[in-house]
């Protein structure tokens, strides 16, 4: 049960894929040779993961996963966070568990014995900073409702859910249960659509959650907004969706972001960066920045600015976790 005075133990608790990113630079010719969709994300099986790994150049392993990346940013910004996700009892599972706990994030989901192994995302980064992701979901697909810490969910201001994890049946059931627990405790539910192909597969579910008033904060990029609403025009998509979501956040990459909260609109330009090295995690860290302000009840403009600062930091280096002091960057901009 939550604290007796209803003050939450956590600012954000997230449910997402527990993934280790395996990243390597490559040229555009290799993307074409491997018949990958540049800049996209594809789900692959164990054989596909093995074949692509063989085709990679020297690689770097960094713990990832969309929601986990967001929590890593939030924790750096001083938020109190917890994560629920499934790893296997193997080397990459140990890597993920160590990394997320080392970031100051509570993580108590027991590791799963046997096959399949811990999830991994093979990321090919071209010279323009675009990342082409190939994800083997492995053990992360087998997060059952029984693995949820319902006490922790009820004790968090915000439950943050990752659309990527909606595909497999077990974690989808777990997230539905988590929504119920969170709302029964009077908390908020935030959801990131993750990718247009996820909406293609599960858009009816997402639209139903929105229609039932179960999502308080929704994060989309402009492509996901179009897929979700059926409106190719960005403004038309905002107009269609925003009346049904208390807080809608729509990012536009280098063109900044827009948020509409209960009819109030805010906009922010993208932060300038010397060079875009790797766009992996840009949306995840934008969400981290935005939520770090939202849990402190800051203005919409401040929340968006926080998001832009965090996104700019993460695209300036390889990997989807922050390397610079995000609190210092935010303070320099906002005077916090």
- 5-9, 163-167, 173-177, 196-200: range with lowest mean pLDDT: 5-9
- pLDDT tens digits, one per residue of 57-110: 999 888 989 999 999 999 999 999 999 999 999 999 999 999 999 999 999 999
CB count within 10 Å of CB 244 equals 14
Q: Is 314 helix (H, G, I), strand (E, B) or coil?
A: helix
**CA 250/CA 224 separation, integer angstroms:** 9
Using an 8 Å Cβ cutoff, are 125 and 58 in contact? no
Show me where the domains of the chain are located: 10-18+65-117+138-334
The beta strand positions in 16-118, using DSSP E, are 19-25, 41-43, 60-64, 81-84, 106-107
**CA 274/CA 324 separation, integer angstroms:** 15
Whether pTM exceeds 0.85? yes
pLDDT at 195: 87
pLDDT at 321: 87
CA torsion 284→288→290→292, rounded to 10°? 170
pLDDT mean over 203-230: 97
pLDDT mean over 157-170: 93
Tell the residue number behind the tokens 């939030």, with chain if given.
74
- pLDDT tens digits, one per residue of 236-287: 999 999 999 999 999 999 999 999 999 999 999 999 998 888 787 899 999 9
Q: What is the 3-state secondary structure (H, E, C) of 199-232?
A: HHHHHHHHHHHHHCCCCCEEEEEHHHHHHHHCCC
Length of the chain: 336
Q: Which residue, among 254, 262, 266, 261, has the nearest Cα to 304 in the 3D structure?
A: 266
The CATH number of 10-18+65-117+138-334, from 3.40.630.10, 1.10.3720.10, 3.40.1190.20, 3.30.2010.30, is: 3.40.1190.20
- pLDDT tens digits, one per residue of 127-140: 998 889 898 999 99
- pLDDT tens digits, one per residue of 70-79: 999 999 999 9
DSSP annotation of 55: H
Using an 8 Å Cβ cutoff, are 284 and 70 in contact? yes
Calculate what percentage of the chain has a pLDDT beyond 70.
Answer: 98
Q: Is 280 helix (H, G, I), strand (E, B) or coil?
A: coil
């Amino acid at each position: 049960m939550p604290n007796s005075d209803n003050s939450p133990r956590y600012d954000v608790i997230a449910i997402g894929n527990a993934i280790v990113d395996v990243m390597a630079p490559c040229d555009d010719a290799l993307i074409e040779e491997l018949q990958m969709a540049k800049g996209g994300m594809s789900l692959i099986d164990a054989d596909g993961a093995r074949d692509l790994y063989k085709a990679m150049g020297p690689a770097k392993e960094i713990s990832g996963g969309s929601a986990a990346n967001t929590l890593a940013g939030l924790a750096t910004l001083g938020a109190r966070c917890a994560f629920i996700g499934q790893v296997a009892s193997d080397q990459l599972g140990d890597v993920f568990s160590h990394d997320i706990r080392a970031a100051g994030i509570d993580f108590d989901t027991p590791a799963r014995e046997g096959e399949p192994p811990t999830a991994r995302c093979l990321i090919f980064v071209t010279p323009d900073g675009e990342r082409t992701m190939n994800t083997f979901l492995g053990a992360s697909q087998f997060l059952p409702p029984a693995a949820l810490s319902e006490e922790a969910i009820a004790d968090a201001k915000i439950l943050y859910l990752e659309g990527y994890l909606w595909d497999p049946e077990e974690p989808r059931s777990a997230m539905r249960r988590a929504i119920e627990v969170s709302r029964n405790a009077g908390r908020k539910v935030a959801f990131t659509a993750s990718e247009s192909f996820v909406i293609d597969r599960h858009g009816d579910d997402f639209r139903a959650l929105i229609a039932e008033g179960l999502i308080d904060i929704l994060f989309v990029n402009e492509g996901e907004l179009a897929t979700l609403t059926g409106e190719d025009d960005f403004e038309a998509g905002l107009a269609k969706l925003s009346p049904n979501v208390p807080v809608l956040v729509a990012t536009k990459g280098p063109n900044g972001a827009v948020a509409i909260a209960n009819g109030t609109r805010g906009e922010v330009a993208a932060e300038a960066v010397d060079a875009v090295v790797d766009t992996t995690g840009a949306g995840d860290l934008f969400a981290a920045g935005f939520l770090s302000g939202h849990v402190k009840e800051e203005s919409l403009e401040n929340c968006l600015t926080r998001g832009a600062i965090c996104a700019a930091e993460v695209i300036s280096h390889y990997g989807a976790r922050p390397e610079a002091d995000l609190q210092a960057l935010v303070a320099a901009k906002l005077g916090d």
